[in-house]
Structures are given as structure tokens and as C-alpha cells.
A and B are shown apart, each in its own frame.
Chain A
């Protein structure tokens, strides 16, 4: 009993010390020092605010048509000009942020959930289960991603929801592989052996110990994946396979602008700029998170 009491004190001290230099706090400290990462976070926050407060920011509704004001150049009344239906492009770009962020976030969330689950199962159980899942990942990665997405949407039918599903599916193997390799290394750790030795169930080990310890690479990869997902959604929209009219989706807006390049280039410039800036923001933030949280992933 006396021995136990002696051992308790140092454990508490260690826990307190760990709190003081928690890896998340340390990561945030490193992230804050990285100027580019902060710029990226600023851009992302800007677009999030734009999406959240769209009804307050946009001066017109997304479908407010005024045919007498078709293809007007940018002016005080219409900051980004108007499109071929006389709709305010600025308002449509602002509302478009909702669609792009929504698709980007939820498609990646879907990939993370399914990919992590498959990766954990493959890594933890090994053998034939791992064989099947890993081969499935190999096959999916053998397709150029946008091509696979096009194929999936061609089957499911063109719509924003189906584009989101397609993008989620094509990104599953990236997360699956990441988590699988993470599980393979964590599995060898002594605390997992200890957990097994005291009779902890597989599910508890997987979800209470292995998954929380795999969070860092998921967050980093997830941020970068949102950037790719936004571009992929816009690409599908551009090809007419994503959002359908009159949704103010940026890719679809670009596709519609093709016919008016000579007369009204502003119909093309602003939605494209919005896609590029959002993607740049997530890329910078993702790079910064990687350097701050998981420097080993750098190369």
C-alpha cells in the first residue's frame, strides 16, 4: 500500500507536466509562427464567414433576375457585374461559398469516416482482411481520381449530392492507407499490448486508444483534402455533372460564363478567383498544420 502511494505522486506530476506542454498547444504555438499558414487560416475563416453570413452580405438574392441589366460590367450597384440573366454575380459568389465549403467539408468527412474504419480494420486485423481492403484501395487509386468521380456521377446521375458522394468515395483510399499504416505502428506499442493483456475488447482498443492517436495525420490530410475536394466539386460542376442550375456553384458559374468570354469576362473572373483563393487557403493551412503537428509527414 505504501509502495502504491509512493508511485501515485510521480504519475500526477507527469500528468501535470504533460498538460503544460500538450502536443496540441505546442502545435498551435508552431502554427502561429508560420506566416503562410496564418494567411491560409485567414482566407479560410474569411470564406467561412462569407458562407455563414451570406444572407447579410449579399445585396441581392441568388435568383433575382433583371433582364434589362444583362451582362453589366462591375459597378457600384453590382460589384462583380451581372450574368446573362441579369443576376448579381457578387451575391452568387457569396452564396457559392456555402456550396463549395459544404461539399468540401462533408465529402472529406465521409471519406475520413469510411476510410478510417476500413484502415483501422485492415491494420488491426491484418491477414486476409488487410489483403482484401488494401487491394481495394490499390484498385481505386489506380484510377485518375477525377475520372473515377466522373464515372460514379455518370452512373448515379448528375447532381450536387451525387458529386459529393463521388468525391467522398474517391478520397476513401487516401485516408484508409494513412490510418492503416498508423495502426500498424501503434499496434506494436507497449500500451496496446498492456490493454490486450488486461482483457480490453478490440473495439475499445481501436476506438479509445488507436483512433485518438491517429488524429494528427487525419487532421492534416483532411485539411489538404478539403482543398482537392473543392476543386473536384467545381470541376464536376463545370462539366455539368455537379450542381444543377440555378444553384450558384462556382464551377457551374464558370461553365456558364464560357459563352460570354468576349462580352462579359467578369462572369468568368470572379467565380474562378473564389475557387482559387479558397483552395489556396486550405492548402496553406494544411501545409502549416503538417509542419506544426506532424513534421515527419513533410516529405
Chain B
């Protein structure tokens, strides 16, 4: 296990290097002079030259790349062209917002997805099974940006139950500590604000949760069905154990392993999906940060934003792989 873990961790290094190379070349792949494109056609020659120099575009590419890599290793993610601030300094609040949204979405997806899958398998071919699986099929095919708009229309505009967009009530702003607002309001003991944050979180996290929920439900169902056919489950039933215990204790223990992998993979995909959800719900997360940067052609922010999200994605996959190897003793890695 230790050797496997070490080898798996080492494989991350070339992937990270390759990723940094792709992201580095992104800005250089802009047709024409990137500095001119960033500043627009009306920019003066001096301004273009100054930006070319500032971005290091007047040096050979390998020197530029080494400098870029050195910067990354020392936590220098470049400067935003729009705000002039260091990306590493302004990125955390956005990242925290995305993290809160993604974790909330994953929570919903796992609780509902796993239980729907279990009940579907338990009552295979029942009406619940059919309804749940048809919904799961629709969920997988659902464009989340459409679902988000539908939610806004139904729950915020028509029923007026929940806020349409944003992360907090602008009339009652939250004093950030960690920038994870649920935690911040809890630390401050402010129940009213905690409830407000929760209310703002419901619609975007449900929209973001839909696809992973559907995939988790389908995976749990098929995995449970397979396990429930095994001899030891029949023995457990024959011993007179109640079906609830057989399903939730004996079967789930073995059936959950492939589901865990799917959950891990979905967590990574949520980060991508967050961009769309954040745009619809004006959620001030990393996706919106990158999206707005595209409008301003703020390439350092686009580069660093993409690199950070991709790095988190890689580390989530790494943790999932290691957990998978640790949990399932049947898997041996050579």
C-alpha cells in the first residue's frame, strides 16, 4: 500500500508540470500579439510594449516558462490586469465561495443519490425504482444552466420562497473570517445570517447537485443489486436479520466502494459545473472569477484560475485513488 501510495503521488508531478505548460502556452497561443489583444486595438504602442515586457513576452519561451514555474512554486500566480492585485491574494474569497457551493451540492447529491439508489435496488422493479431511475436518466441529461433558470422561475419568482441570486443579503452583509459563510456565521453565533446563507445556498447547490445525484443513484443501484445477489446476503437473510440491516449494513458496506470512486470523480466535475451555476446565480465563486476575466481579457487571472481548479481536481482524484486502495482490500496494486 505504501509503495502504491508513493508511486501514485509521484505520478502527480509530471501531470502538474504538463498542466502548467498547457496553461502557460494558453496566453501565447492567442493569435497576434497577446499584449495588443489584451489592451485592445486602440492601445498606444508604448502601452503595448510595456505590457509585453511586464508579461515577459519579449523573452525566449523557455526562460518565460522557467520564470513562470518559479513564480508558481513561490506562490506567485501573476497580477490581475483589471484590478492590478496579485491573483494569489484576491483568489481565496472566490475559491471559498466555490468550495462552499460544491460541498453543499455534494452533500445533497450523496444523501439523496445513495439512498435513492439503495431503495431502488431494495425494491427492484417497483414503482419507486422506475420513477427514481427515469428521474436519474433525465437528471444525467439535464443542462444545469436550464435547471438553474427553472428553479429561479419557480421557487424565487413565482413562489417567492428563496432568494434569486447572490450569496448573502446585501442589506445585512457578513463579516468574513474564513470566507466560508456557513462557518463564519456559526463562529459569530449569528443564527439569522446563518439561515440567510443557507437560503441562498439551496437553489444553486440543488442545481449543481442534479447530475452527480443522478449518477450516484444509478451507480449505487447497480452496485447494490450485484452485492445483494451474493451468498452472504442470502445467509444473512436466512439467519432472520431484518431487511433494513441486511441492506444498510451488510450490502452497503461492499456496494459503496465503486460508489466512492464515482463520488470522488463527481466532486472534481462539480468544480467545472460550478462555473455555469455561478453565472446563473451570480455566485461570487472561482467560476465567475474566471468568466468575468474572459470578458476583460484578463489572461493572468484566466490562467491561474484554470490552473488552480485543475490542481484541486487532480488532488481530489489522488485522494480518491488512495482511499479506494485503502478501503478495498481486494485491490492489489503492483
> A261 is contacted by which of B153, B272, B279 (Cβ under 8 Å)?
B153
Q: Is B273 within 8 A of A146, CB to CB?
A: yes
Cα separation A72 to B247 with both chains bound (whole Å): 53
Q: Is A276 within 8 A of B153, CB to CB?
A: no
Interface class of chain A by DSSP? helix
Q: Is A268 within 8 A of B291, CB to CB?
A: no
Cβ of A74 within 8 Å of any chain B Cβ, yes or no, is no
Contacts of A23 in B (CB 8 A): none
User: What 1/0 mask marks residues of chain A from 251 to 280 whose CB sits below 8 Å from any chain B CB?
Assistant: 100100110011001001101100110011
Decide: A262 near B157, CB < 8 A? Known: A139-B18, A146-B272: yes
Cβ of B72 within 8 Å of any chain A Cβ, yes or no, is no
Cβ of A238 within 8 Å of any chain B Cβ, yes or no, is yes
Cα separation A157 to B295 with both chains bound (whole Å): 11
Cβ of A151 within 8 Å of any chain B Cβ, yes or no, is yes
Determine how close the nearest CB of chain B comes to the CB of A254; give it in whole angstroms. 6
Q: Is A275 within 8 A of B275, CB to CB?
A: no
Cβ of A241 within 8 Å of any chain B Cβ, yes or no, is yes
> A154 is contacted by which of B140, B222, B279, B294 (Cβ under 8 Å)?
B294
Number of A positions contacting B (CB below 8 A): 44
Cα separation A170 to B41 with both chains bound (whole Å): 31
Cβ of A179 within 8 Å of any chain B Cβ, yes or no, is no
User: What 1/0 mask marks residues of chain B from 272 to 283 whose CB sits below 8 Å from any chain A CB?
Assistant: 110110011000
Q: Is B291 within 8 A of A239, CB to CB?
A: yes
Cα separation A174 to B155 with both chains bound (whole Å): 38
Cβ of A13 within 8 Å of any chain B Cβ, yes or no, is no
Determine how close the nearest CB of chain B comes to the CB of A122; give it in whole angstroms. 16
Cα separation A282 to B138 with both chains bound (whole Å): 12
Q: Is B15 within 8 A of A138, CB to CB?
A: yes
A residues whose Cβ falls under 8 Å from a Cβ of B: 36, 135-136, 138-140, 142-148, 150-151, 154-157, 227, 231, 234-235, 238-239, 241, 251, 254, 257-258, 261-262, 265, 268-269, 271-272, 275-276, 279-280, 283-284, 299
Given contacts A144-B268, A154-B26, 6 further A-B contacts (CB under 8 A): A135-B14, A139-B15, A143-B313, A235-B143, A241-B294, A251-B145
B residues whose Cβ falls under 8 Å from a Cβ of A: 14-15, 18-19, 22-23, 26-27, 29-31, 137-138, 140-143, 145-146, 149-150, 152-153, 157, 222, 268-269, 271-273, 275-276, 279-280, 290-291, 294, 299, 302, 306, 309-310, 313-314, 317
